[in-house]
Amino acid sequence: MRGGLWQLGQSITRRLANGDKKAAARRYFATEAELKKTALYDFHVANGGKMVPFAGWSMPIQYKDSIMDSTLNCRENGSLFDVSHMCGLSLKGKDSVPFLEKLVIADVAALAPGTGSLTVFTNEKGGAIDDSVITKVTDHHIYLVVNAGCRDKDLAHIEEHMKSFKAKGGDVSWHIHDERSLLALQGPLAAPVLQHLTKEDLSKLYFGEFRVLDINGSQCFLTRTGYTGEDGFEISVPSENALDLAKAILEKSEGKIRLTGLGARDSLRLEAGLCLYGNDMEQHITPIEAGLTWAIGKRRRAEGGFLGAEFILKQLEEGPKIRRVGFFSSGPPPRSHSEIQDEGGNNIGEVTSGGFSPCLKKNIAMGYVKSGLHKAGTKVKIIIRGKANEGVVTKMPFVPTKYYKP
């Protein structure tokens, strides 16, 4: 789905609206029997969810409202996403922090218990294997979530390094939380609605912080984070309690928080300037090139000690040759792989994500250009279907973020 979930949602909607339901079914639903289903699958279908294959799962791309309306409602009220296709896991043992630090760029040791950060798993050449939100629950327990599409390779990568680490006497073990579901509650009503379902004072839980607490009668892992740029939470809940929790959240919001699919999730994260692994970050892209230099801890910059550190630290010193930037553009919305040219018609890079912004009512995109041409205000041409369209480099996020910080 490198072309973007937004386009896929629009394509399915058009096909279904035009009565071409058999063709849509053949194209998007052919492997339905082989797909994994979340604990909320029947709930999605009952609520009008248009189910599509995504990373081996049957997931809702949208519901009865349009992707445009869903995006706007998340920013005005709130959205509830089922993201149970993502993989949560725990690392435990007295050496879990030094073990993880061999694989990621974050200064995990410096995190206070109950806090977390975005980080990147790197390969030997400094490229990104995956991005992940990691949380230090205690000094001997790390909780992390990896992308659904990267699950198999991430787990194989972690397991391979864990075996050699343990063979040298390291104390670390892991548990993959397949017994839990993951819900993302996002938007301005997220905190007031969730507060109805827990006794814990959520006003004291800030962006990036983590708690184990009772929500709606079940023990949940709660992280104040998300993928929309809005305030919100990711809630890991025992799968047998996921449906009751989803219903309770929707009920307490009195209809203002809506079930929202992957299509709106994609437009929301693009407006927030956030990377989608497989589009905006890949094995050959380093965290420096992706604009994630801030995620490399100060101690890690001095000491290295993670895979590909020599390449990344050299880039830190010399500067990268390409950089991820944002764009506004005219004409049709840019798509993944659209060529980017300078004003003289020379190729300077390509778009990795793009679409029409429901909130800004104009085209937005992100992509990679040669260093030196990455400054805000630089005029470019974006080639779509053979035609050059005016574009300009702009700072991200496109829509201001509203994270809850002290």
Amino acid symbol at 319: G
- Which helix H or strand E contains 355, and what residues bound it? strand 347-357
In sequence order, the 6+-apart residues with CB closer than 8 A to the CB of 108 are: 97, 100, 101, 119, 134, 136, 142
281-4-105 Cα angle (round to 5): 20
- Measured CA to CA, the distance from residue 341 to residue 334 in angstroms comes to 13
- Residue 279 has φ and ψ, to the nearest 5°, of -110, -65
- Residue 28 has φ and ψ, to the nearest 5°, of -105, -20
DSSP codes of every residue in 171-219: --EEEE-TTEEEEEEESTTHHHHHHTT-SS-GGG--TTBEEEEEETTEE
- Residue 325 has φ and ψ, to the nearest 5°, of -140, 170
- Which helix H or strand E contains 263, and what residues bound it? helix 262-271
Q: Is 251 annotated as a binding residue?
A: no
- Measured CA to CA, the distance from residue 58 to residue 141 in angstroms comes to 31
**CB-CB neighbours of 108 under 10 Å:** 26
| Residue with the two structure tokens 């892209």 | 285
Binding residues for substrate, by number, are 234
Binding residues, by number, are 234
